[in-house]
Structure 1
Amino acid sequence: MSRPLIAILRGVTPNEVVPIGAALVEAGITRIEVPLNSPDPLTSISRLVETVGEGVLIGAGTVLSTDQVDSVAGVGGKLIVSPDCNHSVIKATKAAGMQSFPGVMTPTEAFSALRHGADGLKFFPGNLIGPSGLKALRAVLPANVSCYAVGGAAPDNFALWLEAGADGFGIGSGLFQPGFDLAQVTRRAQTIVSAYDALVTS
């Protein structure tokens, strides 16, 4: 089962990323993002691709330039997530055969991202937009567009987001923070997956 849950490993190091990635996949999270403002992120992405890449969508977050897109592609990444809607980044991502999830907040940004080829939309920061904001945007967006709530989405409010039209979630600090040990990340991943599954299979 491929769940629309993206693990955001901001601050992860290359030395810890492989066991963490394996624990996430074991828990049922098969989409992993290493933000580029993490320590040596390209090495972390490369190691994930080499060790857990089979059937797992791995890539980078906080991607702000086309040069960064090229660098992620060069280590085998397949996912580009940005905090903003940069047309050049979207087009470079698609040209490299990768999935593009730009950050948007407004109808103008959302439709602009889609016109330039985005595969889905990252509604960020989710805690500012809120489920009510997403619901209003969902009324005008094409039904087949994947909408991810990022920043403020957590197991205790997944239901509200799903009712508002969210398709999936990007989970950062609620899943991983620098200093978390493997057991902590594993428990949090299991909680997130269980909460999501309970809502979509009930």
Structure 2
Amino acid sequence: MSRNIIAILRGLEPSEAQVIGAALIEAGIDHIEVPLNSPRPLESIATLVQSYGDHAVIGAGTVLSVSDVNDVMGVGGRLIVSPNCNSDVIKATKAAGGLSYPGVMTPTECFTALDAGADGLKFFPGSLIGVDGFKAVSAVLPKSTQCYAVGGAGPSNFAAWFAAGVVGFGIGSALFKPGMSVAQVRANAEEIVAAYDAAQA
């Protein structure tokens, strides 16, 4: 069962990429992004792709430029997540065969992203927009739009976000922080997966 949960591994070290990736995938999370402001992120992405690319979607977060897209694609990453809505980044991602999830907050940003070919929209920060704010914005979007809540979405409010119409979530510090043990990351992932499944049931 593939879940619409994107693990955000900000601060991941290349040396731990393989074991952290294994813990996430074993727990049931198979979409993984390494933000580009992490230590040597392309090394981590390459390791994850080589180890798990056949059965997980691997890529980068905090992707801000076309050159970033090219760098990530160059090591095998397919998932391109941004904190902002940059049409050039979206178009470059799609031209290279990747999956584009730009960050949006306003209707203007949403439609700009969709017009550029985005696969889904990352409502960020979710804590600022809130469920009610998301409902208002999403009411004007095409029904098929894949919307993710990122930042402030977690086990305590998965059900409310699902009810509002999101299809998935990006989870960062609740899942992984630098210095966490593999066992802690696995436990966090298992808790998040269980809450996600329960909220969807």
Using structure 2 for the length normalisation, give the TM-score: 0.99
AA matched with 1:162? F
Give the corresponding residue for 1:83.
83
Mapping for residues 149-188 of structure 1, pairs under 5 Å: 149-188=149-188
Kindly report the root-mean-square deviation, in angstroms, between the aligned alpha carbons of the 2 structures: 0.6
CA–CA distance in 1 between the matches of 2:96 and 2:134? 30
The TM-score normalised by the length of structure 1 is 0.98
* Separation (CA, whole Å) in 2 of partners of 1:199 and 1:150: 16
Q: Distance in 2 between the 1:144 and 1:46 partners?
A: 32
1:55 to partner: Cα distance:
1.9
Equivalences, count:
201
Correspondence for 1:24: 24
Aligned counterpart, 1:10: 10
- Deviation string 1:127-161 (CA, Å, 9 cap, x unpaired) is 00001111111211111111000000010111111
Partner residue of 1:50?
50
Calculate percent identity across the aligned residue pairs. 65
| Cα shift at 1:200 | 1.3
Per-residue CA deviation, residues 44-78 of structure 1 (Å, 9 max, x unaligned), is: 00000011111211000000000000000000000
Question: Aligned residue for 1:36?
Answer: 36
Q: Which runs of 4+ in 1 moved over 3 A?
A: none
Task: Letter of the 1:165 partner, please give it.
Answer: G
Q: Write the distance in 2 (CA, Å) between the matches of 1:144 and 1:57.
A: 21
Unmatched tracts of structure 1, length 5 or more = none
Q: Structure 2 stretches of 5 or more lacking a match?
A: none
Which residue type is aligned with residue 81 of structure 1? V
2:119 equivalent in structure 1: 119
For 2:62, give the aligned amino acid: T
**1:3 corresponds to which letter in structure 2?**
R
